[in-house]
Structure 1
Amino acid sequence: MVDAFILVGLPYLAIAVGIAGSVWRLRNDRYSASARSSQFMENRALLWGSAPWHIGIILILAGHALALLWPGLWSALLSPPGVLEVVEGTGMALSLLCLAGLGVLLARRITSARVQAVTTTMDLVVAGLLFVQVLLGLLTAVHLRHGAAWSTGTVAPYFWSLITLRPDMSYVADFPALFKLHLAGAWLLLMLLPFTRLIHILSVPIGYLWRAPQIVIWNNPRRRQQAVDAHITAESRREFFKGFAGLTVAAGLLSLGVLEKLFNYFKGPQPDAQAEADLLAKKLRRLQQTAEERELELERQRQKMILVARYSELVENKGHYFIDYQMNPGLAFKGKDGLPIVLSAKCTHLGCTVGSQVDEQGRILCPCHVSYFDIATGNPNPGAPAKSPLPRISWALVDPSGKVLLSRKAGGPLVGQADPAMLAQCALYITKPGSQM
Structure 2
Amino acid sequence: MTNDEKPAGGGAAGGSNVTALNGAARGGDEQGARKALQHLTVEDLSTPAYLVNHKFQIEWANDHALAGIFARPDGLPRAIDDSSLFSLLLSSSVVRKADGLPELLKFHLAIAKKRASKTYLFLSNPDLGPRESELMGQLYDRVEPIGAHRMTSEVEVNLAPRGEEPRWHKLYATFFREGIFFTVAPDDREQESFLTWLARRDVVIRDLLRVRRPYVTPLAVLVADLQSSMRICAELPPEQYFELINSIWTTMQPYLRKYFATYGKHAGDGMLYYFLPQPDSDYLVNAICCAFEMQNAMRQVNRDWQRKKNWTKTLHLNIGLDQGEEWFGTFEGPTFIEFTALGDSINRAARLSDFCSDGAIWATKSMLSRLSEEDRARVRYGIRQTLANGTEAVVPEMYSRIGNLIDLDDPKYHKLGDISTLAATELFDIEGMERD
Q: TM-score range, shorter-chain basis?
A: under 0.3
Which structure shows the bigger proportion of residues in strand conformation? 2
- The structure whose residues are more often helix, as a share, is 1
Q: What TM-score does the superposition give when structure 1 sets the normalisation length? A: 0.24
